[in-house]
Amino acid sequence: MSVGSYTERPTAEAGEKDGLSVPWSRPRPKRTGVSARPISALTLLALLAAWTVSAELQLVSPVFLPSPAAVWTKLVVVARDGFVDATLTQHVAASLWRVFAALIAAIGVGVPVGLAIGISKVGRGVFDPLLEFLRPIPPLAYLPLIVIWFGIGEPSKVLVIAIAMLAPVALSTAAGVRGVSRERIDAARSLGATRGQVVRHVVLPSALPSILTGLRIALGAGWSTLVAAELVAATRGLGFMIQSAAQFLVTDVVVMGILVIATIAFALEFVIRRIERALVPWAGRE
C-alpha cells in the first residue's frame, strides 16, 4: 500500500463501513431466493399443529372442533361404510358429476356468448347487461326460483352450478377475444381468411389462454355453489353429506367433507394448470 492509498476506497467493504450506498461498493451477490413453496408448506404444518394442540388440550369441545385424528378416522370409516346411505366415493362421484356437467354446459353457452360479446357490438349490447345482472346474485337467491321452474331433479342442481360458472367463462372469453392483436387479424385477412375463418383460426386460438383462465375461475365458483345446489332434495353429494352431518352435529364429518372438497379442488387446479401448459405453451412468451 502506498502512502496516498487512503484516498482509494477499500472496495470490498466500503458499502458497509461508511453506511452510504456508494457506487464503488461492489455489487453484492443476490440473496439466495426464498421460494414460496416451503413457506406454504410451513404455514399448512403450523395450522395443522395448532389444530392438533387445541384439540388435544380440549380448548374447545369436539363438537366444535374435532381432532385431526378423529377426522382422519371418520374419513376411513365413511370411505368404507358410508354416511347417510352412500359411501364417500359415491358422494364424491355425485358432486364431481354435477360440477363437470355444469362446466360443460357453461362452456357450451359461455364461450359462444363471450365470442359474441367480444366480436360484435350487438352481442355486447345483448349479453353484457345480462351477465352483469347475473354475476353478483348469490346462488342461494336464485335457487328457489330454479326449483320452482325446473323442479327438484338433477337438472336443477346442475343448472344452479352452471349459472355460477357462466359469467367467468363468458367474460374471460370476451376479454381474450378483445385482446387479439389487430395485426394478427389483418394478416389472416390478407392471406384470404373469411370472417368465419378469422374467428376459427385466429380469434379462438388467440383467446384460448384467457378462456382457460376463465375455466379455472369457473371451477372455483362451481365448488362454492355445490353446497347450495345440493341443499334441495339431494341424496348424495359432498355438499349434501356436509349438510346432513351438520344437522346431527357430526362435526368430524363436516370437517372431513370440507377437506375432501378442498383437496379435490386443489387437484383439479393442478390438472388445469398442466392442461394449460400443454395447450397454450406460447402464453406469456410472445
Partner 1 sequence: MPHLTLDKVTVHYDGQPAPAVERVSLDVGKGDFVVLVGRSGCGKTSLLNVAAGLVEPARGRATIGGRPITAPGPDRAVVFQNDALFPWLTARENVAFTLRLRGVPADRRARRADELLKLVKLDNAGDKRIWELSGGMRQRVGLARALAAEPEFLLLDEPLGALDALTRERMQTTLLDLWTAAQVGVLMVTHGIEEALVLATRIVVLAPGPGHVVRTFETHFGRRYAAGEPIRAIKADPAFAAARADLTDAIFEGEAA
Residues near partner 1 (CB under 8 A) are: 181, 183-184, 186-194, 197, 201-202, 205-206, 208, 280-282, 285-286
> Closest distance between partner 1 and the C-beta of residue 5, in Å?
44
Residue 176 beta carbon to partner 1: minimum distance, rounded to whole angstroms: 13
What amino acid occupies position 48? Answer: L
Residue closer to partner 1, measured from CB, 175 or 193: 193
CA dihedral sign, ordered 182, 184, 190, 195:
negative
Within 10 angstroms of residue 176's Cβ, the number of other Cβ atoms is 25
Residue 209 CB, nearest distance to partner 1 (Å)?
Answer: 10
Q: Which of 164, 127, 126, 109 is nearest to 142 (CA)?
A: 164
Smallest distance, Å, CB 119 to partner 1?
Answer: 18
Q: In which element (H, E) is residue 216 found?
A: helix 204-229
Distance CA(181)–CA(156), nearest Å, equals 40
Residue 205 in grid coordinates:
386460438
CB of 184 to partner 1, least distance (A): 5
Query: Letter for the amino acid at 113?
Result: V
DSSP class of residue 233 equals S
Nearest-approach distance from CB 38 to partner 1, in angstroms:
31
Contacts of 238 (CB under 8 A, 6+ apart): 91, 92, 94, 95, 226, 230, 257, 260, 261
Cβ distance 208 to 176 under 8 Å? yes
Q: Which residue, 27 or 284, has its beta carbon nearer to partner 1? A: 284
In the complex, minimum distance from the CB of residue 198 to partner 1, in angstroms, rounded to a whole number: 10
Nearer to partner 1, 154 or 276 (CB): 276
We find the least distance from the C-beta atom of residue 279 to partner 1, in angstroms, to be 9
Nearer to partner 1, 11 or 181 (CB): 181
- Rounded Cα gap, residues 180 and 211, in angstroms: 13
Nearer to partner 1, 202 or 238 (CB): 202
| Nearer Cβ to partner 1 (16/183) | 183
Identity of the residue, 135 or 201, whose beta carbon is nearer to partner 1 in the bound complex:
201
Phi, psi of 58 (to 5 degrees): 55, 40
Alpha helices by DSSP H, listed for the chain, are: 14-18, 36-56, 68-81, 88-119, 121-134, 139-150, 154-178, 182-190, 195-198, 204-229, 238-247, 251-279
Nearer to partner 1, 187 or 262 (CB): 187
In a 13 Å sphere around the CA of 168, the CA atoms on its Cβ side amount to 17
